[in-house]
Structure 1
Amino acid sequence: MTLTSHAGVKGTPVRLRPLRALCGTAALTLTLPVLFTGQAAAAVPAYSVYLQNYTTGLNAADSGGTVAAHNPKGNEDHQQWTLVAVEGGHRLQNADESDTCLGRSGSSAVTAACGAEGTTWTITPGADSTYTVSVPGTSQYLTGSSSDTSAVQLGSAGDLARWYLTPVTYATTAMPSADRRTLDQVTFLTAHNAFANGADGNFASFPVSLFPNQNHGISQQLSDGVRGFMLDDYTVSGQAVLCHNSCDGVSNPVPLATDVQRIVDFLKANPGQFVTVFLEDYASSDVLRSSLASVSGLSDVLYRPDQEGVATKGWPTMADLAARGKQLLIFSDRTRASDTANGWTTRDTFGVMYQREWTVENYWSMGGGLGDSDWSCYSRWGTGRPLTVDSTAFHPLFVMNHFRDYTISSTAETDNGKLLNRAQGFCTPAARKKPNYLAVDRYDLGSPTPLGTVGTLNTYVLASGQ
């Protein structure tokens, strides 16, 4: 199995140790032990893993001889470990460094030559597919730190001493049939700053206006298969309008209601289709409510997970949503606490969900418009809500951002061509879930195209409980 390193466009292949026997399917199904979420893990894995902290979502990495907690970064940061059974326990051998194992020195986690004193560990299955890694015959555990998120050390039991042994490559099974697949099993092509397209109207002042994120208007995006729309709304003259960074100096920005109306009209004409709108939301709740109230037919198609017990029962099937004509989900990046602190009506009272209650999302930037890229995949909202947040009943939707600070067509084309590799090799293990939304700039560029990558991800789901 080869994953491609992504420092800029250099793309140096890194050969990983072979995993277990591959089955000959397009969905890359691996023969791995099945571990069931919500129960004790059945066995210590015999394949390459990330040692991923249950509380923070960060990975244990060799950092020049010290083991530290780093943002998940695939095969680029000495974060992959192979578990080797030895007398008295297991060793965790670094997958891309010769004769280098996880060890200990006093209360510090270090790397050392495999077989050296302090490189044998007791690995014990726990609840929710987690494990503890302890010093044999003692109550000392490998743990994170409550005061320093970068620290990996020896300490006492607790949630910071719980670890996922996250597969480097996940086992998969075929996507359920159309009548059985649920919303959280599906991946949607998503246009970052969909309104900033240079076709529908003005979206920014100079020089930001020189860098449109998309090349086609909203109606064309819908026709092309875009099903997620990231929109930035500001208040101008009491109305929510769409601008990038600021509305200062922007003449005649497009009203939010105009683009939402385009989406609603499309959904009415195309039963069974499903769209999600993500608001980078700078308007008050009263302004937002007033603007959305002017959209004809919105209430007919608006989906309200808060009114259907999704947080305890899980997401519905796509077939159920289609049968009921519930075709549009709207999120705001504001928080319930901020609205309450401002004395505003909460947005969910008029059908706009607080995104942080329903999704997880990786940090948005891979770097500037040119030069090396950062392919690490970690929570936009910090270690307090890591990408790994999950429960047996409810699986947050995973929004995977894949774009730069500035949109340069040649860079976007290169980045989009590597979208599948990053989604499978970097972000899926970082979140322990498949992305539900792939958010890109210039969705029309790349080989394979982002829509092609979405098609690949929609052929499979992850095997449960790994």
Structure 2
Amino acid sequence: MEKTISWVLLAAALILAFGCSKGECKVGDKCSSDQDCGAGLYCFSCLKKVTAGAICVRSTTTNQFQLLNNSLPFNKYAFLTTHNAFAIDGYPQHTPIPRVTETNQEDSITTQLNNGVRALMLDVYDFQGDVWMCHSFSGKCYDFTAFGPAIDFLKEIEGFMSANPSEIVTIILEDYVNADKGLTKVFTDAGLMNYWFPVSGMPKNGGDWPLVSDMVKNDQRLLVFTSISSKESSEGIAYQWNYMVENQCKVFSVHGLSEL
């Protein structure tokens, strides 16, 4: 009898802990395996600072061009963006000193793009005589904050764009590169200038962007923005705040995302 009661109590505890299972869990619900989560979701345990334990998260986005065709201006669509897209758990070490810095992603750049990400936030620095991706501070890259040469990440983007000729990708740079034409060189070497959307074609004063269909037809499918205003004139790289606005908000839990 005591064993029966113990098993009943254990089962009740598990139900209270997870509340759902066998494909019934929704986004933000606690889970113990991928099988607990509904269609298009998987069980994810990376967000330890935000959640206690694993929760169900969405693995891919909905293609907006399947919901609505690509005949509208570019600014009429919303695109999934990854913050510090380069700061990847387990990224190979490229310096003799172990990396001691925060990571934000589990997936490679290629996997992020394949899963529906269409805008990448990247931090670029002068380092070892080249342009590197670093998650650093005070405008300087160190061995222990470095991830790798920028060209390695940019070549992944080029590979995706070459294989997907109807896709548009946006890159938003937190820019600490002071080398003369340093960014121009690395984007050229990566083959990304072939898809470059020119500053001259960008709208002024909040006007509409070109039609997505025209951007694809003209193969001007890469939009690059920098945080350094002078590079718009010196390198033809758009200064982000001439073309963007930013909402200010704070989210203290994953469930809070549903309230935005």
TM-score exceeds 0.5: yes
CA distance in 2, matches of 1:241, 1:283: 9
Change (3 A) 1:310 1:235: same
Amino acid aligned to 2:123 = D
Counterpart check, 1:245 vs 2:161: no
- Which residue matches 1:332? 226
CA distance in 1, matches of 2:70, 2:84: 32
Greater strand proportion: 1
- Which residue matches 1:188? 79
Deviation of 1:176 (Å): 9.2
Counterpart check, 1:421 vs 2:259: yes
The residue correspondences of 1:306-455 to structure 2 (distance < 5 A) are 306-308=199-201, 310-311=203-204, 314-336=208-230, 346-363=231-248, 366=250, 373=252, 414-415=253-254, 417-422=255-260
CA distance in 1, matches of 2:90, 2:99: 17
Change (3 A) 1:179 1:189: closer
Is the Cα–Cα contact under 8 Å of residues 73 and 210 in structure 2 kept in the other structure? yes
Counterpart check, 1:269 vs 2:163: yes
CA distance in 1, matches of 2:76, 2:161: 21
Aligned-residue sequence identity (percent) comes to: 28
* Higher relative contact order, chain-length normalized (CA < 8 Å, sep 6+): 1
Deviations 1:190-245 (A, max 9, x none): 11001001244349987853x42011111111111111111111111221101102
Amino acid aligned to 2:225 = F
Deviation of 1:302 (Å): 0.9
Is the Cα–Cα contact under 8 Å of residues 203 and 242 in structure 1 kept in the other structure? no
Is the Cα–Cα contact under 8 Å of residues 131 and 149 in structure 2 kept in the other structure? yes
Amino acid aligned to 2:203 = V
Counterpart check, 1:214 vs 2:52: no
The residue correspondences of 1:88-237 to structure 2 (distance < 5 A) are 177-202=68-93, 208-209=100-101, 211-237=102-128
Deviation of 1:323 (Å): 1.2
Is the Cα–Cα contact under 8 Å of residues 99 and 145 in structure 2 kept in the other structure? no
Counterpart check, 1:290 vs 2:185: yes
- Which residue matches 2:151? 257
Residue 144 of structure 2 aligns to a residue in which SS?
coil
CA distance in 1, matches of 2:179, 2:236: 11
Q: Which runs of 5+ in 2 are unaligned?
A: 1-27, 29-65
CA distance in 1, matches of 2:202, 2:226: 19
Computing the radius of gyration over CA atoms, which structure comes out larger, 1 or 2?
1
Amino acid aligned to 1:357 = N
CA distance in 1, matches of 2:168, 2:187: 18
Q: Which runs of 5+ in 1 are unaligned?
A: 1-8, 10-174, 337-345, 368-372, 374-413, 423-466
Is the Cα–Cα contact under 8 Å of residues 74 and 210 in structure 2 kept in the other structure? yes
Greater helix proportion: 2
Deviation of 1:293 (Å): 2.6
Amino acid aligned to 1:327 = R
Is the Cα–Cα contact under 8 Å of residues 348 and 354 in structure 1 kept in the other structure? no
Alpha-carbon RMSD: 2.9
Is the Cα–Cα contact under 8 Å of residues 70 and 212 in structure 2 kept in the other structure? yes
Number of aligned residues: 190
Amino acid aligned to 1:265 = G
Change (3 A) 1:252 1:177: closer
TM-score by length of 2: 0.64
